[in-house]
Structure 1
Amino acid sequence: MREKSFIMTSKRFTGSVLFKFGLNGFLTLFKIEADLDERQHQFTLKYIPKHISHIAELAKLSETIKVEEVPVDLSFGHFWKTYGNYAGKKKRCEALWEQLNDAERSKCLNYITIYKSHKSKDGTALAYPETYINNRVWEN
Structure 2
Amino acid sequence: MSIGKTYTVTGTSFTGSLVFNYDLNGVLTGFDLDGELTPQQIGWLYSGRFPFTEVGMKMFVAITNFTVHGGELDLSFENFWNMYGYKIGKKVMAENIWKRMSRADKIKALTAIKPYNAHLARHVRKDKAHASTYLNQRMYENDFNKF
Q: Could you say which residue in structure 1 is the equivalent of 2:58? A: 24
The answer on whether the counterparts of 1:108 and 1:138 sit within 8 Å (CA) in structure 2 is yes
The normalised TM-score by structure 2 is 0.49
Give 1:107 deviation, angstroms.
0.7
The answer on whether the counterparts of 1:71 and 1:106 sit within 8 Å (CA) in structure 2 is no
Q: Deviations over 1:81-121 (max 9, x none)?
A: 00000111111110000111111000100000000110111
Q: Could you say which residue in structure 1 is the equivalent of 2:105? A: 104
Alignment of 1:80-99 (within 5 A): 80-99=81-100
Question: 1:106 & 1:137 partners in 2: Cα distance?
Answer: 13
Q: Deviations over 1:6-58 (max 9, x none)?
A: 7xxxxxxxxxxxxxx8x527xxxxxxxxxxxxxxxxxxxxxxxxxxxxxxxxx
Give 1:72 deviation, angstroms.
2.0
The normalised TM-score by structure 1 is 0.51
Unaligned residue ranges in structure 1 (runs of 5+): 7-20, 26-69
List, as ranges, runs of 4+ consecutive aligned residues in structure 1 with deviation greater than 6 Å: 3-6
Aligned-residue CA RMSD (Å): 3.2
> Would you say 1:120 and 2:121 are equivalent positions?
yes
Question: 1:128 & 1:86 partners in 2: Cα distance?
Answer: 8
Larger radius of gyration: 2
Alignment of 1:69-80 (within 5 A): 72-80=73-81
The answer on whether the counterparts of 1:88 and 1:128 sit within 8 Å (CA) in structure 2 is yes
Question: 1:126 & 1:73 partners in 2: Cα distance?
Answer: 23
Q: State, as a whole percentage, how many aligned pairs show the same letter.
A: 32
Judging by fraction of residues, say which structure has more helix.
1
Question: 1:104 & 1:84 partners in 2: Cα distance?
Answer: 19
Question: 1:117 & 1:24 partners in 2: Cα distance?
Answer: 33
